[in-house]
Structure 1
Amino acid sequence: MSLTLYLNRREWLDHIRNTEERFPDYVPVIKGNGYGFGNEFLADAAIRSGKRTVAVGTVEEARELEGVYSFEEMLILTPVLAAPEYADMAESRVYTVGNLAQLKRLVEGFDSLCRRQSSIWNNGGEPFHLRILIKCESQMKRYGFEPEELSKVQTLIDDWNRSDSLRLEIAGYSIHFPTEGLSVTAKEESIHAWVQQIKKVGLPCNRMYVSHISSDLYGKLRKEYPSIRFHMRLGTDLWLHDKSFFSLRTTVLDVKDVVKGERFGYKQNRAKKSGRLVIVAGGTANGVALDAPTAVKGWKDRAKLTVFWLLQLTNRHLSPFTYQGKRLWFAEPPHMQTSVLFFPKGAKTPQPGEELKVQLRMTTAHFDRCVELGSDQEKEEEAADYEAAALLPNQEEKGKTLDVTS
């Protein structure tokens, strides 16, 4: 039983490495479900592409990856409000803070941890270095420091650095822009304003992480501010930029005849027509039929959503599965790991073992397996390329030897 991700791994990895030409020193984002590939899979790809700095979504994701992979620097994008654990006292970590309250809570948590773990934490008598990433407010209106708050940051840092348990250090700043509705000029002006504000209050400014800007603007900023190291954070635009590198398919598990009026499924609804029930791999646990809210633009979008809403009132639900170029209908809501599709009487139906195409939102998808496309020779060449480049250091020490030929 398999919902399968087919991946041309060599071309996909080449694309990831070539992204460095458009966005030098970019930082890969590894979070959530790993954009459909899984976080460990993406960490593997980042290392093979020569990346030593990555960004993760949460502190829990950092703990999981650090148990397998070794990175020189790991940015945690979501502010940490829960009490930190001893495993979080890794000086390779950089913690995002979006306002003064988040900063105070983070520092107090680590200060308390350092004092409780003083008998365990031993760094040659040196205090623990807590590195923070200051998130600047943008038009996104998510958490982020407002310009007037920055003047209070240095005072807090000076106060905390008098402690004998930890030292606070600003590792950089980040600005996260919306993907739509904001011009290139507006983004550029926002970055300029923040750089000037940071310098005005006297804070150090040697690194800035940006998102959702063009390669032209990125290059312009790096030239205009040579003393600031700009880093582009890339997630969707990195891992899912070119969907020609992968395809998604499900396996037909069984086919059953059903006659009009016959009951079937969990809810024992009656079949409205005679036909065939086709059971395929993939259900809610795989992300099937998990829809995110969409922004409606224009009358065409409204008309389309209205049609789908009216169909759902009659228990007709369009599935993400296709056969011979046509979208198929669910016979009933998908189960956890399987889905049941309806084919009307007389229609050509697939046979058990046959594969059907499926369209899924990659940020909610979980696949049963990943099959790498390409010849054995290509896989051997890939292995030789990466071994020659010496891009896989210290992995055996972390308990995992990477196999590029599998």
Structure 2
Amino acid sequence: MEDRRAWVEVDLDAIAWNLKFLKKLAPKSQIMAIIKANAYGHGAEAVAKAALANGASWLGVATVEEGISLREAGIAAPILVLGVAPEVEAPLAAKWNLSVAFTDLKGAEALSRAGKALGKKASGQLKIDTGMHRIGVFPYKVEDLLEACQSLDGLKVDGLFTHLATADCDEKLAQMQVIKMKEIVDKLGKKSPPLVHWANSAAAPYLAEGSSFIRAGIALYGLRPSQDSLWENLKPALSLKASISRIITLGKNEPIGYGASYYTKGPCQIVTVPIGYGDGYTRRLSHKGAEVLIMGQRFPVVGNICMDQLMVEVPLEFSLDPEAEVVLLGKQGNEEISAEELAKKSDTIHYEIVTALSTRLKRIYTN
């Protein structure tokens, strides 16, 4: 093991496997790899390149800044900014050839002005609110808005898209949203832009028909988008690891950590691990039964998790290797700590567990 404090390992072969698995579920749809939030904590540049090398045709990001970072990394593939960008960012989006979501004429006009200033057409896609009620234009306004946007000299409307609120948990409601999208497209006829999409990871098995893309988000990273058993075929790509910084022996009734919130139950070893909530290992896991893997065995995290460190209790009789790796998320031997396990113990979702991992953790790529 190299001299590292704590780090993230990402298996790019797993990314490739997951992408190809999604493609098999919906062979008629292209894959848009969702790279927002530093590729869900996995590292945007490396994951984007791996996804494109294994069949993705588009990339999706949340902000113009994220899109520019990919362009600066030498990525030329089409990129959609899924979130509505401030009008002031329209010139940057046009300059870097990013397609940007818009929801009203004002946003479309900002993109058009930016395109005209550069002597070209800026790209944009109209976001439609079919039932999630987060962002988007309501279906009854689409036809008139699209006609106005398509008349703008500096804008090319690439597509229409919506987001399914319940593809992972309520198939009936998700189907209603898809029906609304298909009705919009049917009404538009030849006026419809070439790209129309709605299918996220969870929708890939049953609602992808007619969607230009599978927007491969959580499933790309090997994490289940729903409880459907077919997702057991996914391969989690990310592991979170750390070194051991200290091992001490303590007797019974010794306080551990800030607030002395835990006292040893008997003679034991206390292992200090140099990772904490400043790295994205949430403090909400304190006193919630969180465990780590050391030498293939589970041991409990004790006391309050600190910003940069945490403590683990190990039985006195266990022979610890001070050079052993500590696995906080991932596999070691026959044991595995999943993002779902950590999410359940910290009362959140597995999306947050991985996206919260700080950029101060070095990303190490394998395969």
1:275–1:342 Cα contact (<8 Å) kept: yes
Aligned twin of 2:144? 152
Show the counterpart of 2:174. Answer: 187
1:62 aligns with 2:67: yes
Match among 33, 41, 48 for residue 36 of structure 1: 41
Question: Counterparts of 2:289 and 2:194 in 1: how far apart (Å)?
Answer: 51
Residue of structure 2 equivalent to 1:170 = 157
Contact preservation (8 Å) 2:15, 2:222: no
The residue identity in structure 1 corresponding to 2:243 is T
* Equivalent residues in 2 for 1:205-244, closer than 5 Å: 205-210=193-198, 211=200, 212-218=202-208, 221-222=209-210, 230-241=212-223, 242-243=234-235
Residue 128 of structure 2, aligned match among 136, 142, 146: 136
Q: Is the 8 A contact 1:343 1:349 kept in 2?
A: no
Conservation of the 8 A alpha-carbon contact between 1:83 and 1:109: no
Q: 1:90 to 1:240 in 2, by over 3 A?
A: farther
Kept after mapping to 1: 8 A contact 2:11/2:237: yes
Letter in 1 for 2:101: T
Aligned-residue offset at 1:249:
3.1
Question: What amino acid sits opposite 2:282 in the alignment?
Answer: A
Partner of 2:334: none
- Judge conservation of contact 1:8–1:245 (CA < 8 Å) in 2: yes
Q: Which runs of 5+ in 1 are unaligned?
A: 223-228, 292-307, 374-406
- RMSD between superposed Cα atoms in Å: 3.3
How many residues of Structure 1 are paired with residues of Structure 2 in the alignment?
A: 321
- Aligned-pair distance for 1:56? 1.1
Other-structure match for 2:77: 72
Instruction: Output the CA distance in 1 between the equivalents of 2:310 and 2:318.
Output: 18
Offset of 1:207 from its aligned partner?
1.8
Q: TM-score, normalised by structure 2?
A: 0.74
Aligned-partner residue type, residue 205 of structure 2: S
Residue identity over aligned pairs, in percent, reads 16
Cα gap change, 1:259/1:270 in structure 2, threshold over 3 Å: closer, same or farther? Answer: farther
Corresponding residue number in structure 2 for 1:107:
109
Kept in 2, the 8 Å contact 1:175–1:209? The answer is yes
Give the gaps of 5 or more residues in structure 2: 224-233, 330-338, 340-352
Letter in 2 for 1:175: T
Which structure's relative contact order is higher, taking Cα pairs within 8 Å and 6+ residues apart?
1
Aligned 1:5-404 pairs, distance under 5 A: 5-10=8-13, 12-24=15-27, 25-84=30-89, 86-90=91-95, 92-97=97-102, 99-100=103-104, 103-105=105-107, 107-108=109-110, 111=113, 118=117, 121=118, 123=119, 128-157=120-149, 161=152, 166-177=153-164, 178-183=166-171, 186-200=173-187, 203-210=191-198, 211=200, 212-218=202-208, 221-222=209-210, 230-241=212-223, 242-243=234-235, 247-259=239-251, 265=257, 267=258, 269=260, 272-273=263-264, 275-289=268-282, 316-323=287-294, 325-336=297-308, 338-343=309-314, 346=316, 348=318, 350-359=320-329, 360=339, 361-366=353-358, 367-370=361-364, 372=366
